[in-house]
Homo-oligomer: A and B are copies of this chain.
Amino acid sequence: MFFLHADTAMSPKITGELLRQLRQAMKNCKFFSEPIQAYIVPSGDAHQSEYIAPCDCRREFICGFNGSAGTAIVTEQHAAMWTDGRYFLQASQQMDNNWTLMKMGLKQTPSQEDWLISILPENSKVGVDPWIIAADQWKNMSRALTSAGHSLVAVQDNLIDAVWMDRPERPSTQLRTLGLEYTGISWQDKITALRAKMTKRKLTWFVATALDEIAWLFNLRGADIEYNPVFFAYAIVGMNTIRLFVDLKRLSDPALREHLQLDSPSKPELSIRTFPYESVYTELQAICAAHSPKDRVWICDKASCALTQVIPKANRSPTPYTPLCLAKAVKNAAEIRGMKVAHIKDAVALCELFAWLEKEVFSLYTFRSIGGSTRFLHQQKDFVGLSFPTISSVGPNGAIIHYRPLPETNRTLSMNEVYLIDSGAQYVDGTTDVTRTMHFGTPSAFEKECFTYVLKGHIAVSAAVFPNGTKGHLLDSFARAALWESGLDYLHGTGHGVGCFLNVHEGPCGISYKTFADEPLEAGMIVSDEPGYYEDGSFGIRIENVVLVVPAKTKYNYRNRGSLTFEPLTLVPIQVKMMSIELLTQKERDWVNDYNRTCRDVIGAEMERQGRKEGLEWLIRETQPIV
């Protein structure tokens, strides 16, 4: 699954009155010394999370569009919302006529900066909440506006909150501790490794703001944000101190206190001082005030502008990826073991689901009424929940890249249409994310042709051999070459990093034409491989595996650099019925047969162990080799 968020309500939100109130607030000098002519509503929270809690869904509140990516800008006359190709259809259905949809990635679409510059009166002020805009975005936007005679101003009170009457509270769920059998490394060792990197870079403080990095660092998980096992917190690590900012009510559980050694730290430098979540600003201010002028603070350049600007510029050391992000991306042996176990369980549940769907396709059940993909997932050991809302779509809904079944657009399963399911789950031992496209009847020649191009792309990435040090974005075109040759393409990236019982999307690696600042792929990293093709109004195709970066054996070894390739962790058969075999090379046919046989061997054994006869029969039928 490639970046997605929340339910897809298909009737537009009526926003006329809300916009009127927001524009009123923009003129209200209670919020800023002078009126502002435009207000930017980014989609993130104060941690630049991709998935956000209901209290942070401000962009959705103001415009109705609830995809994972999008920025709304409201001026006195206009309201516009930028999103990318995954969401063009969805956004156009969710927003009313007050809004202009800005289709990012198309040549004719202006950037937010260019658009603002083209419509604003001279010397305009553009406002934004500094807590929910990243420092690097602030900088770029500010520079562009300044160069055109305007200015970007930080509006401390969020103007959406000011007009949002029934805004939900910030969640504070129970925290879960993870033992070494899952994490492989204790939080104390992670702190020590972090400090070693700080010493090497001559940095004295590290500020952690990304929720998954904080969860990973302390070997804790929460449930504050749906699908992402994280909790609202900040952390500031010095060479001898550790400060954790979190709702203090959460810290009463004795097992948790023991895990964090809150009452009896083993060493003073591993003693955690806890503070209320909200006090991070004042505490960081105090640290900076007590600073020696040479102290340097490491902070992600994607951290909020508000928190970044607390640190005097001379003491700031911004980094595109934090040391935690980089360490977290390379999974250790315990994490890889866990991810493999999770993917086996996940495949068992999916095969069961498919066997069941195939049988029930005639009874016209809707996907929701059958309990969705959790029907079988929850039977698996250590299942925690979904890692994103399941995408289960038939026919034309599949062309809405992140369609989610809803009563008003539900189509019943049918023998005559392409079925696409993108499902992911959280288990205590790992996170999964898999997409399969199938047909329960007879696919058309065009559907098969497109599926086969997508499959060729999937294989081209999965089987690619590349030198150590290669960045993932250099593999993106492999996934597209077969589609391009026929004049086809898909408007999303090919792969994203996957966390281990953490966020289903994580940096710093990925496979996308859009990124360049991705870090080189390394053995132990885990990414998705998910090319697709979407024919508006007809069908959607995507084939997604989660794959592990592993060393590759090659005939030669140029400059002793070593080579890498991918090992699929996802082991769910790819439907042969959807393939135009004649379009596959012998190598590609061999890959399909090898892959489906591995699914049969590994998942079959687990199904037998679990006594799941129906799924096993389906699995064996679906993994017959092609010739």
Listed in ascending order, the chain A residues whose CB lies under 8 Å from chain B are 107, 146-149, 202, 294, 296, 314, 316-317, 464-467, 469, 471, 474-478, 480-481, 484-489, 513, 516, 554-559, 561, 563
Q: Whole-angstrom distance from the CB of A524 to the nearest CB of chain B? A: 16
Tell me the smallest distance from the CB of A20 to a CB of chain B, in Å: 32
Asked whether B484 lies within 8 Å of A481 as measured between CB atoms, the reply is no
The reply to whether B147 and A296 contact each other, CB–CB distance below 8 Å, is yes
Chain B contacts for A513, CB-based, 8 A: 471, 474
Nearest B residue to A294, CB-CB: B149
Question: What chain B residues lie within 8 Å of A317 (beta carbons)?
Answer: 147
Q: How many angstroms between the C-alpha atoms of A317 and B117 in the bound complex?
A: 14
- When the two chains form the complex, which single residue of B149, B294, B484 contacts A563, counting CB atoms closer than 8 Å? B484
- Tell me, rounded to whole Å, the shortest Cβ–Cβ distance linking A308 to chain B: 14
The 3 tightest CB contacts between A and B, nearest first, are A487-B554, A516-B516, A487-B556
Beyond A475-B477, A477-B478, is A563–B487 a contact (Cβ under 8 Å)?
yes
Chain B residue with the shortest CB-CB distance to A555: B486
Find out whether the CB atom of B487 lies under 8 angstroms from the CB atom of A558. Answer: yes
Would A107 and B469 count as touching, CB distance under 8 A? yes
Please tell me how many copies of the chain the complex holds.
Answer: 2
List residues of chain B with CB within 8 A of the CB of A314.
Answer: 146-147
Q: Which residues of B contact A480 (CB under 8 A)?
A: 466
Give the CA-CA distance A557 to B480 in the complex, in Å: 14
Q: In the complex, A489→B147 CA distance in Å?
A: 43
Complex: A314 Cα to B148 Cα, angstroms? 9
Kindly state the separation between the CA atoms of A557 and B487 in the bound complex, as whole angstroms: 5
The answer for the CA separation of A580 and B122 in the assembled complex, in Å, is: 66
Task: Tell whether, in the assembled complex, residue A485 and residue B469 are in contact, meaning their CB atoms are under 8 Å apart.
Answer: no
Contact indicator B487/A555 (Cβ below 8 Å): yes
Residue of B nearest to A114 (CB): B201
Q: Is A484 touching B465 in the complex (CB atoms < 8 A)?
A: yes
Q: Are B467 and A484 in contact (CB under 8 A)?
A: yes
Q: Are B467's CB and A489's CB within 8 A?
A: yes
13 additional A-B pairs beyond A149-B294, A489-B558, beta carbons within 8 Å, are A107-B469, A146-B314, A147-B296, A147-B314, A464-B484, A465-B485, A465-B487, A475-B477, A477-B478, A486-B555, A487-B555, A487-B557, A487-B563
Q: Is the pair A476, B478 in contact by a Cβ cutoff of 8 Å? A: no
10 A/B residue pairs, CB under 8 Å, sorted by A:
A146-B314, A147-B317, A148-B202, A149-B294, A465-B487, A474-B513, A486-B555, A486-B556, A487-B554, A487-B563
A533 nearest in chain B by CB position: B558
Q: How far is the CA of A563 from the CA of B486 in the complex (A)?
A: 9
Query: Hey, which chain B residues are within 8 Å of A316, CB to CB?
Result: 147
A213 to chain B, nearest CB (A): 22
Nearest-neighbour CB distance to chain B for A461, whole angstroms, equals: 11
Is the CB–CB distance between A554 and B296 below 8 Å? Answer: no
Q: Which of A464, A471, A476, A489 has the most CB of B within 10 A?
A: A489
Contact between chains at B464 and A558 (CB < 8 Å):
no
Interchain CA distance A513-B471 in the complex, whole Å? 9
Instruction: Specify the chain B residue showing the minimal Cβ separation from A557.
Output: B487
State the CA gap A474–B478 with chains docked (Å): 9
When distances are taken between beta carbons in the complex, the residues of chain B under 8 Å from A489 are 467, 558-559, 561
Among the interface residues A464, A475, A487, which one has the most CB atoms of the partner chain B within 10 A? A487
Assuming A147-B296, A294-B149, A516-B516, is B486 touching A554 (CB within 8 A)?
yes
In angstroms, Cα B467 to Cα A485, docked, is 9
Rounded to whole Å, the gap between the CB of A100 and the closest CB of chain B is: 19
> Would you call B488 and A556 a contact (CB within 8 A)?
yes
Q: Using Cβ atoms and an 8 Å threshold, which residues of chain B touch A147?
A: 296, 314, 316-317
- Quote the shortest CB–CB distance from A525 to chain B (angstroms): 16
Q: What residues of chain B lie closer than 8 Å to A481, measured between beta carbons?
A: 464, 478
Asked, given contacts A147-B296, A317-B147, whether A554 binds B485 with beta carbons under 8 Å apart, the answer is: yes
A562 to chain B, nearest CB (A): 8
CB A374 to nearest CB in B, in angstroms, measures: 35
B202, B477, B485, B563: the one contacting A477 at CB < 8 Å is: B477
Q: From A122, which residue of chain B is reached at the shortest CB distance?
A: B294
Contacts of A466 in B (CB 8 A): 477, 480, 484
Q: From residue A538, how far is it (CB to closest CB) to chain B in Å?
A: 13
Question: For the complex, what is the distance from the CA of A316 to the CA of B469, rounded to whole Å?
Answer: 37
Closest B residue, CB atoms, query A516: B516
In the assembled complex, the CB of A87 is this many whole angstroms from the nearest CB of chain B, namely 15
Report B-chain residues with C-beta under 8 Å of the C-beta of A555. Answer: 486-487
Q: How far is the CB of A481 from chain B (nearest CB, A)?
A: 7
A292 CB to closest chain B CB (Å) equals: 12
Q: Which residue, A484, A513, A563, has most C-beta atoms of chain B within 10 A?
A: A484
Complex interface: chain B residues within 8 A of A477 (CB): 466, 474-475, 477-478
What is the CB-to-nearest-CB distance from A467 to chain B, in angstroms, rounded to a whole number?
Answer: 5
The distance from the CB of A46 to the nearest CB of chain B, in whole angstroms, is: 25
Contacts of A148 in B (CB 8 A): 202
CB distance from A67 to the nearest CB of B (A): 19
Which residues in B have their C-beta under 8 angstroms from that of A296? 147
A311 to chain B, nearest CB (A): 12
Interchain CA distance A74-B308 in the complex, whole Å: 35
Question: Which residues of B sit under 8 angstroms from A294, Cβ to Cβ?
Answer: 149
Complex CA gap A489/B477 in Å reads 18
A595 CA to B271 CA, complexed, in Å: 71
Contacts of A107 in B (CB 8 A): 469
Q: Chain B residues with Cβ under 8 A from A556's Cβ? A: 486-488
Report the bound CA distance from A45 to B467 in whole Å: 35
